[in-house]
Amino acid sequence: MKSKSPPANNISERTYRTKNYIIASGYISDLPVAATNYYYIPEFMTPSRSWQSFLEETGVLLRFTGRFFSQCFRPRYEIAEFLRQCFIIGYRSLPLIGLTAFIMGLVLTMQLRPSLIDYGVESQLPAMVGIAIVREIGPVIVALIFAGKIGSSIGAELGSMKVTEQIDAMEVSGTNPFKYLVVTRVLASTVMLPVLVMLGDAISLYGSFLGVNIRGTTSFDLFWNQVLGNLSFGDVIPAFVKSFFFGFAVGLIGCYRGYYSTKGTEGVGRSANSAVVISSVLIFLIDLVAVQITDILGLN
């Protein structure tokens, strides 16, 4: 019964029908299976899917994670490829993340102002926005955009390498493809996301400064004094720490979906798509766990 090919594929190959949908491998579509556009819904969210397949997939993912850690600390270390990935993953996402972060800071400030005026605490606007951005909105929004851009591109890249035998070709060329492709990408996104979050936070506070100054005036110094004066150790560190986990989740899921991509070009699209969906859900789950932990540690 148990075959040697990755169980993820076995899950994917099951096809069955419900009333209006054709569900193939957790991909719900109201089109025939052969049609192109699949909307990926994780196994555990599809109606009447058994818990068994969810647990199966989780098991495979856990084994993949274990393999990551066991390969991560063993030579040979792919330093050059790791740095190249840091550049691709970090630097190239910066414009997109900068733009969205700036707009987010601006809009958030403008949206908050009326409520604060109602309560007569308009002067607290920079402090409120600063805390909201640094603690929650910055890390989560940046991570979600990161998942959309990097998670999907890793999923698609590894997926297409898999189906065109490039991964096999690396293996016969004296390269451990898991180390060369997976370990470097997971590490690079783990390291780069916190950096992007910090930059994103800063950029979005500039956006917020602009928002404050659209109505009323606050000097640049006063704005930053208010923001930084109201931030504490307990605001910054947990947010910083959790963005490592966000980055790890995005890199790992992207690689996992790509590496176990099913044969065929269609599988590549699915890998990219599912990488984004799963890592976005994981980001919120990690966020939920993180807030519990900071609560228990009394960092609030």
Partner 1 sequence: MLQTINNTRNSPLPDEDNEIIAVEHLYKSFGSNKVLIDFSMLLHKEENIVVLGKSGSGKSVLIKCIIGLVKPDSGTIRVLGQNIPELSMEELDKIRVRIGFLFQSNALYDSMSVRQNLEFPLRRHSIRLRQDEVDTLVMNALEDVGLQHTIDMMPAELSGGMRKRIALARTLILKPDIILYDEPTTGLDPITAKEIIELMIRIQKKYRSASIIISHDMNCVKMASDKVLMLIEGKCYALGTMEELQRSADPKVKKFFE
In angstroms, give the least distance from the CB of 268 to partner 1.
12
Neighbouring-strand partners of residue 24: 15, 27
Residue 73 in the binding site for partner 1 (CB under 8 A): no
The smaller minimum CB distance to partner 1, of residues 30 and 165, is found at 165
Residue 92 in the binding site for partner 1 (CB under 8 A): no
Cα distance between residue 299 and residue 109, in whole Å: 25
In angstroms, give the least distance from the CB of 175 to partner 1.
5
In angstroms, give the least distance from the CB of 4 to partner 1.
7
In angstroms, give the least distance from the CB of 285 to partner 1.
32
The smaller minimum CB distance to partner 1, of residues 7 and 42, is found at 7
Q: What distances in angstroms separate CA 51 from CA 21, 55, 73, one per listed residue?
A: 20, 6, 34
Token duo for residue 11: 């899950």
Residue 263 in the binding site for partner 1 (CB under 8 A): no
Using CB under 8 A as the criterion, what x/- string covers residues 164-193 for binding partner 1?
xxx-xxxxxxxxx-----------------
Residue 160 in the binding site for partner 1 (CB under 8 A): yes
Number of residues that bind partner 1 (CB under 8 A): 18
Residue 157 in the binding site for partner 1 (CB under 8 A): yes
Residue 79 in the binding site for partner 1 (CB under 8 A): no
Judge whether 215 and 229 are in contact, CB under 8 Å.
no
Which parts of 204-243 interact with partner 1 (CB under 8 A)? Answer: none
In angstroms, give the least distance from the CB of 119 to partner 1.
54
Stretch that binds partner 1, among 56-64, 155-163, 186-194, 252-260 (CB under 8 A): 155-163
The smaller minimum CB distance to partner 1, of residues 124 and 166, is found at 166
Q: Which stretches of the chain bind partner 1, using CB under 8 A?
A: 3-5, 157, 160-161, 164-166, 168-176
